[in-house]
Structure 1
Amino acid sequence: MDSCVLPCLTYGAQTWIYNKYTKQKYGHASVLWRSILDLKLKDKHRSSDIRHKTELINAGKHAQQLKWKWAGHMIRTTGERWTKLVTTWKGPKGKRGRGRPIDRWTDDLRKVAGDNWIQAAGDRAQWRQLEEEAYTREGP
């Protein structure tokens, strides 16, 4: 089941910003699993139990791992590629707008690897160690 549904759920996940809205959307993936397995909501099956019994992969966690791997790959590329330039770009100087700052693509990477995540991603062994630490628990 994962070979068909999981790629559809995580298509383009490397470029997504993981905020409350995105995590909520992955929570709705359990509705899809329940529909496929013909389980009723009133039977009170937990999503974690469904994933454990059917050996399904948590789509949200898988998408975050894809993003983590893409970030490491992108930073380790040689040359000045567009993806690397856009990621490391600092933005215009000046006053910012009112309200809460918007979530950035690098925010969840910084939660795990710290502010110098670019240097950590340059070292493949250190990046893999950080990935194991981040995703053996519940995730960033």
Structure 2
Amino acid sequence: MERKLAAAQHNMERSILNITYKDRNTNKWIREQTQVQDILEAIKSRKWTWAGHISRRKDNRWSSTLTHWTPYGRKRNRGRQRKRWRDELQNYWGEVNWYQQAQNRGTWRHHAEAFILQWIDNG
């Protein structure tokens, strides 16, 4: 899904500049010309912010409850995403509970850029 979003964004940026693949311009050059934020960077940044917001809630709203809910003994159906929303956060923190780390806003903000940069393609 991420590759599809990135490809769609590159195509839109080429359309903005009215160039084609035959012009042989790199995606990096095109991004410099359009000065548009990378879609994956925006998504991951908003995800990180939302995860911190959800984890610091003290009431029992459905968004907080569903973030931690795991279905009992069920596999994901065919065609569904393999990873859940929280899996990226758990992979970033490793064995540490991301939910507890988000309670400290300073630590959470400090790690935001590192979380986002691990998904950005440098090429």
TM-score, shorter chain, exceeding 0.5: yes
TM-score band, normalised by the shorter chain? 0.7 to 0.9
Identical pairs, percent: 29
> What is the match of residue 87 of structure 1?
67
Write out per-residue CA displacement over residues 22-71 of structure 1, whole angstroms, 9 at most, x where no aligned residue.
33222221101111110111011111211123322111111111111111
Alpha-carbon distance change, 120 to 45 in structure 1, aligned in 2, over 3 angstroms: same
Alpha-carbon distance change, 55 to 79 in structure 1, aligned in 2, over 3 angstroms: same
Return the offset for 1:91.
1.9
Unaligned runs of 5+ in 2: none
Which one of the candidate residues 96, 103, 107 is aligned to 1:122? 103
Q: Which amino acid aligns with 2:43?
A: A
Unaligned runs of 5+ in 1: 1-20
- Distance in 1 of aligned mates of 2:86 and 2:108: 15
Say if 2:17 and 2:34, in contact at 8 Å, map to a contact too: no
Return the offset for 1:97.
7.0
Q: Which amino acid aligns with 2:20?
A: K
TM-score by length of 1: 0.72
TM-score by length of 2: 0.81
Which one of the candidate residues 39, 45, 67 is aligned to 1:59? 39
Write out per-residue CA displacement over residues 85-137 of structure 1, whole angstroms, 9 at most, x where no aligned residue.
00111321x364798x82111111112223411111121111111112223x3
